[in-house]
Structure 1
Amino acid sequence: MRKFVIILLSFILLTPTCGMFSDEISFLVLSQKNKYHLGVAKQLKHTIIEQSLNLDDGTKPNIYLSHEVFEKSNSWAIVPILIDILNQLITPQTKWLLLCEANSVINLRKLLQRLSEEDEKQAVYLGYPLYDREATIIHHFAFFRNPSEFKYPFLKAGVAFSIPLLNRLVDRLLLSSTKHIVLPKAPTDFTIDPAHELALFIWNVDKNLILKPVPYLCSHHGPECAIYAREENIFCGNPISLDKVLFAVKTCEKYHKERLPLLLQTWARFTIHLRIFSDALDETIPTIATGVLNTEHGHCEKSMKILRMVLEEIQRNSTLKNIEFIVLADDDTLLSISSLSEYLGCFDKREYIYLGERYGYDLFSDDSGYSYITGGGGIVFDVKTIRKLVNSCSCASPSSPDDMIIASCLKSLEIEPIHSSLFHQARSKDYAPEILSRNAISFHKFWQIDPLEIYEWWFRKRDEEYYELNKQVLSDYKYLKNSCVTPSTTNNKIENKISHNVKHVEL
C-alpha cells in the first residue's frame, strides 16, 4: 500500500498542472538581427523562460530566434525553412510547433493548458484567422471571386502546428525536390505576405487542411488569450528631430499636377528638408531635374541618381549638416512624419539602416534569392548606407527595378533590410484591419481612394502636433512653415466628409 501511495504521489508531482510540459512545445520567434528588434525578441524569450520557472514542471521550454538558428536570410518567409524546422527544432517529445513574432505576448500557463485540450495527433494548425475584404495585389489577387472564403493566420497572434502536419508538409517539399514534382507555390516568385503564402501552400497540399480558429490566439488582449498581438513600439524615448531627416520624392512631369499637390497638402507640408526630383524642372513646385528620362517601370537609374544628388548636397550644403536619415518615397506615397521620426529613434546609429516593408524574390534559392525593401512604402537609409550604395552599385538598365537592384547590391555589401509592418506598399484597404496599427508610417497608391481623406484619418493630427513641438526646438530654421498647423479649407472639408468605408482600427 505504501509503495502504491509513493508511486501515486510521484505521478501527481510529475504531472503538469497546466496539462502539458513546457518542453512539449517548440517556440520559433521570427526575429531580426538589428539591435532594436533583437532586443524585443530576446525580451519575449526571457519572459517565456521566466514563466516556465514558475510552473515548476521540471522541464525547460525550447525557444528559438529565427535569425540565430537559420543562417539563411529567407527564414521570415517560413515555407523555405520548413524542412530545417523539422530537422533542427523538433524533439521526440515535441507535440506542437508554436510560430510567433517578437511582438507577440504569451501566457505560457494558459497556452499549455489550452493546447493540451487539442488533438496533437491530427494534422492541424491553429490560429487567429484573417481574410481579405476584397481581392488584393499583395495576395496576388488570390480567390478574387470570393476572397473572404480563404483564411490565413495572424502571425503576431501565434500559430500552432501539430507535428503530423509539419511532417506532411516536409514530405511534400522533399518529394518535390527528389521526384521533380511541381511544388505548390504562389503565382509568382515574389514573397509578399508569408502568412498568406504559408496558408496557401498548406491548402495546395490538401484542400482539407484549413486553419482552425481558436479563441485563445487573439488579435488583441483579452481574458481568453494565451497569446495576443501587440503593436510594434515606436516610442523608444529618443525621437529624431525633423531637421535630421531629408525626404526625397521621385516623380515625373506627367504627375506634377495630379499627385504632387496632394503630397504638398498632406505630409510634405510638415517636413523641414524636402526635395522633389523629376525628369523636368518646375520652379513653381519646385522640382529638381535629375537629367534622367522617365521610364514606365523600374526607375533604377532615376533612384540611384537621386541618392547621389542627395549625398552630394549633404556634403556641400551647411543647412543639411544634421541630416542622419534619407527617406526615398514615390509621389503617391502617404507618410506620417511623426510616427517615422519617433520610430527612427529606436535604432542604433552605429548600425547600417535600410528600413521599410520587406518583400522577397526567389527565396527558395540559396544563391540568387534575396529580400528587399519595397519602394512604394518608402525606403529609409542612413547616410553611411547611401554612401556605400552609390560608391558600389550601378543599374543594369535605366528601367531595372530600383528597389530590387538596391537590395541586391546591399546584400553583396552585407547590409540586410530591416523589416517593419508599419510601412505599407499598398493602400490601407488592401490589408486585414487587424494588421493595421495606429502607429502606421506609410501607405501607397492613390488608386480608387481619396488620399486626403486617408491622410486625415490616419496621420494628420499627430503630424501637426509633432511639427509644432519641433518648431519650438528648431526656431533657428527661418524657412519653417508657420502656417502648417493652421486648419485649411481643405482640412475642414475633409473633416466633414470622411467616407464611411475608410476603416479606423483600434487595436
Structure 2
Amino acid sequence: MVRGNFHFGYKAAFMFWSLVPFIFASQDMKDSISKAREAEGHLHEGPLRLREVVFVIQSQRNSFHVQRAETLQADLLLQTDALQEMPPAVLMLHALSDSEGDWSVLPLLPYFSSHFGRNSSWIMFLEEETNVNMEKLHSALKKFDHRKEWFLGKPLHDDESTIIHHYAFSENPSAFEYPDFSAGWALSMPLVHRLANKVQKEPLKSDFTIDLKHEVALYIWEGGDGLRLTAVPELCTLPGHSTRSQHCATTVGVHPPLCGVPVKKEDIFVAVKTCKKFHLDRVPVVKKTWAKQAAFLEYYSDYADTSIPTVDLGVPNTDRGHCGKTFAILSRYASDAVPKTDWLLIVDDDTLISLPRLQALLSCYNPREPVCLGERYGYGLGQGGYSYITGGGGMVFSREAVLRLLASGCKCYSDDAPDDMVVGMCLSALRLPVTHSALFHQARPDDYAKDLLAHQTPISFHKHWNIDPIAVFHQWLNDDVDGSSQTTAREEL
C-alpha cells in the first residue's frame, strides 16, 4: 500500500497543520477543497509558489541514508519558511510504499499523478547529497510554463556507445541527453499525468534496470515521439564553494561522505574470484595495484596455485554465473578458516578498487546492521522483481548480512547461476535492503559520461577490455602520497 511521508520541521511545522485536513481527508473532501481553492485563484494562477512543487528525495532504507534524507528534508523546509512561503510536500522515496521497485521511479508516476496532480505544478527529484538553494530553484522553475510538458535537468551524454546503455545511439552517442540525478531533475505535472496513464495502460517492458537516469530519459523520449530533456543551467554539479557556482540552484560535493575515522583495513576481508586461466594475466594486475592495500585477502580459484597463492573451494569453474563459488566464499567467511572481520568485500579478478576510499565510505555504515552495499541494479522492478548488487563493481557485506543470508538456507539453483542476482533474490525474500552507492562501477571509466565522473571520487571500476588497467587504476583510484591525485584535478573541472 502506498503511503505518504510528510515531515516538516522547526518553524515550518505549524504551517503543515493547516494542510492536514487536505492531506488526510477523503477523496471527495480533497476534491471539494481543491475546487474551492482554484475558484479563489490560489492555485496555478499567477507566479509559481513553492508549495506547488513536490520534492521527492531519492532516499534509501539503510539508516545512514535515511538520516541524510531527513537532513535534506529539514533544510528544504527551513529555507521555505525563511522565504515566508507555505511548506511544500517533501517525500522520501523509500517510504512511499513497501514495493522494491520504487527506486526506479516510473512505477510511482500514477501515485504522483493521483495524489498531487490537482494541487501541484512540478515533481522535483533530488538525491540525498544534492544541496539546494530554494530561492534560486524557485526562480529557475518560474521560467517554465508549468501548464505545458517539461522534462528538466542537467544533461549528460555518452561520448561513445556503451554496454551500460545497451549500445544505444551507437551512430551518434552524444545526440541523446539524459539527466544527472545529482543535480536534481523535474517533471511538470502535465507530463506526469501523461506518463502515469502510459504506465497504467502499458506494462513497463525493460527486464533490467541498469542506469536509471538513462532509462527514465528513454522512457520519456518514447523513441522520438515524446519529450527530450531541457537543460537548466541553474541545476549544477559544481561544488558549493566554487566561484563558478554562484548562479546554481543545486550543487554537490566531489568527496564521498566521511562519517568519522575510516574503518581499519583489518576490519575488511577481501575475496577475489579468479580461475586458472586468468592466473597469469589478471591476478598480477591485482597485485600490482590495489592488493597491497588489503590486510586480509584471499584468491579463490578452481585450482590451488601456491605461487599466488589461491584457494580451491572445490567448486568447478564456470564460464559465467559463479554462484557456487560466491556462496562457498560466504560460507568460508562465516567460518573459522579466515580472520573474523566486520566487512566482506567480494570482487572479480578484473575489478579495480580503492580500498582506502572504501574504508572511508564504510565509516558511515553500522556493521551490526545487515548492510549489502555496491552498485544497485534491478530485475523486473515494474512487475514485483528485485534489486541486486552488480558483482563486477564489488559487493560489500556486513558480517550480520552474511550470517542472515546463510541462516536463511537460500542457495544457488546451479553453480553457474548469476551470483549477484541470486544473492539479490535471497535478500529480497529476507526483506533486507540493497544499498546503492554510485561510487562503485560495473564498467570502465570510458563507459560513463565525463561530466558524471567529474563530480565523483570513484571507489571501483570493472573490466580490462581495451584499456591499460594499471594506468586506469593510477589515474582514477590511486590517491598519491604527494597529494597529486586525480580527485583534486576533477574538482577543478
User: What TM bracket, shorter-length normalisation?
Assistant: 0.7 to 0.9
Tell me the residue number matched to 2:76: 48
Tell me the residue number matched to 2:274: 251
How big is the shift at 1:310? 2.3
- The answer as to whether partners of 2:62 and 2:433 remain within 8 angstroms in 1 is no
How big is the shift at 1:104? 0.9
Tell me the residue number matched to 2:103: 76
- The answer as to whether partners of 2:369 and 2:400 remain within 8 angstroms in 1 is no
Distance in 2, Cα, partners of 1:79 & 1:270: 41
Q: 1:465 to 1:303 in 2, by over 3 A?
A: farther
Q: 1:429 to 1:78 in 2, by over 3 A?
A: same
Tell me the residue number matched to 1:198: 216
Tell me the residue number matched to 2:87: 60
Tell me the residue number matched to 2:426: 409
Tell me the residue number matched to 2:329: 306
Matched, 1:225 2:248: yes
Matched, 1:374 2:390: yes
Tell me the residue number matched to 1:38: 66
Tell me the residue number matched to 2:405: 389
Aligned partner of residue 160 in structure 1, secondary structure: strand
Alignment counterpart, residue 357 of structure 1, candidates 375, 388, 398:
375
Deviations 1:349-398, CA, capped at 9 Å, x for gaps = 331111000000011112xx000000000000111211222232211111
**What residue identity is the alignment partner of 2:134?**
L
- The answer as to whether partners of 2:106 and 2:199 remain within 8 angstroms in 1 is no
- The answer as to whether partners of 1:327 and 1:380 remain within 8 angstroms in 2 is yes
Distance in 2, Cα, partners of 1:505 & 1:446: 23
Distance in 2, Cα, partners of 1:232 & 1:43: 18
Tell me the residue number matched to 1:173: 199
Deviations 1:304-349, CA, capped at 9 Å, x for gaps = 112212222xx255xx24x110100000000101100011111123
- The answer as to whether partners of 2:266 and 2:296 remain within 8 angstroms in 1 is yes
Alignment counterpart, residue 277 of structure 1, candidates 283, 300, 306:
300
Tell me the residue number matched to 2:284: 261
Distance in 2, Cα, partners of 1:126 & 1:210: 9
Aligned partner of residue 251 in structure 2, secondary structure: strand
Distance in 2, Cα, partners of 1:461 & 1:81: 41
How big is the shift at 1:73? 1.5
- The answer as to whether partners of 2:177 and 2:229 remain within 8 angstroms in 1 is yes
Aligned partner of residue 364 in structure 1, secondary structure: helix
Moved more, 213-222 or 130-139: 213-222
Q: Show the 5 A alignment for 1:126-145.
A: 126-145=152-171
Tell me the residue number matched to 1:123: 149
- The answer as to whether partners of 2:179 and 2:213 remain within 8 angstroms in 1 is yes
Moved more, 297-306 or 205-214: 205-214
Moved more, 123-132 or 388-397: 388-397
Distance in 2, Cα, partners of 1:145 & 1:206: 16
Bigger Rg, which one: 1
Moved more, 252-261 or 136-145: 136-145
Matched, 1:455 2:473: yes
Tell me the residue number matched to 1:164: 190
How big is the shift at 1:223? 1.4
Alignment counterpart, residue 48 of structure 2, candidates 20, 37, 40:
20
Alignment size in residue pairs: 441
**What residue identity is the alignment partner of 2:159?**
R
Tell me the residue number matched to 1:240: 263
State the TM-score, normalized to the length of structure 1: 0.83
**What residue identity is the alignment partner of 2:104?**
A
Distance in 1, Cα, partners of 2:449 & 2:457: 16
Aligned partner of residue 220 in structure 2, secondary structure: helix
- The answer as to whether partners of 2:379 and 2:386 remain within 8 angstroms in 1 is yes
How big is the shift at 1:205? 6.5
**What residue identity is the alignment partner of 2:413?**
A
Alignment counterpart, residue 357 of structure 2, candidates 339, 345, 362:
339
How big is the shift at 1:230? 3.4
**What residue identity is the alignment partner of 2:186?**
A
How big is the shift at 1:438? 4.5
Tell me the residue number matched to 1:398: 415
Aligned partner of residue 217 in structure 1, secondary structure: coil
**What residue identity is the alignment partner of 1:50?**
L
State the TM-score, normalized to the length of structure 2: 0.85
Give the alignment's Cα RMSD to 1 decimal: 2.3
Q: 1:410 to 1:175 in 2, by over 3 A?
A: closer
Distance in 2, Cα, partners of 1:72 & 1:504: 41
Distance in 1, Cα, partners of 2:81 & 2:250: 19
How big is the shift at 1:55? 1.1
- The answer as to whether partners of 2:293 and 2:356 remain within 8 angstroms in 1 is no
Distance in 2, Cα, partners of 1:160 & 1:420: 22
Aligned partner of residue 334 in structure 1, secondary structure: strand
**What residue identity is the alignment partner of 1:203?**
W
Tell me the residue number matched to 1:492: none
Tell me the residue number matched to 1:440: 458
How big is the shift at 1:276? 0.3
Distance in 1, Cα, partners of 2:201 & 2:224: 15
Aligned partner of residue 140 in structure 2, secondary structure: helix
